[in-house]
Amino acid sequence: MVGDRKIDLEALLPKDKHDLETAESLKNYSYSEIKNIIPELLEWVQDMNWPVSVPIADYLISIFEHLSSYFIEILKGEDQIWKFYCLHIIKDSRKPLGPVLFSEIERIAKNPTFGEKENDLHHIAMEIVNEGYEEET
């Protein structure tokens, strides 16, 4: 329960990749109301071809300032496609990056792993670095 509103967090997770109604309903909730399901929501952007991924990505952009640690964990992982989509969400957010997230993106841009290079992640990361995303202090 957050404030006076009792929230069924499970009901806020899409039932399948076509559950647009649930995905679009996220915009009615604050970060503090749904923070416990952020990892599950991020899983829905592992494939941006899924219909639910777009409204979920839009919602994640709206609460971007709370997500650095989640993105860092994904960017340090081995799922190159998920990293690709997360880098695009980060780029599309056009919001300042915390120093640790910025540093990880800069590492991908300047010193990518074989997998990151093979999947062109270094190019997207370099765009983020070069577009003047200033680090938050």
- Confirm if 101 and 83 have CB atoms less than 8 A apart: no
> In terms of DSSP H, where are the helices of the chain?
20-25, 31-34, 38-43, 53-62, 68-75, 80-93, 99-110, 114-118, 121-130
Place 79 in a pLDDT band, splitting at 50, 70 and 90: very high
Average pLDDT of span 15-34 = 95
Q: What is the pLDDT of residues 88-124, one digit of tens each?
A: 999 999 888 989 999 999 999 999 999 999 999 999 9
**Mean pLDDT estimate for the chain:** 92
Segment 3-14 mean pLDDT: 79
Per CATH, the architecture of 11-66 is what? Answer: Alpha Horseshoe (1.25)
What is residue 1's predicted lDDT score, i.e. its pLDDT?
A: 44
The domain spans of the chain are: 11-66, 79-137
At residue 51, the pLDDT reads: 97
Residue 33: its pLDDT value, please? 94
Where does the pLDDT of residue 4 fall: very low under 50, low under 70, confident under 90, or very high at 90 and above?
low
Q: What is the pLDDT of residues 54-74, one digit of tens each?
A: 999 999 999 999 999 999 999
Question: pLDDT band at residue 131, thresholds of 50, 70 and 90?
Answer: confident
CA distance 129 to 133: 6
Closest CA to 23 of 5, 2, 37: 37
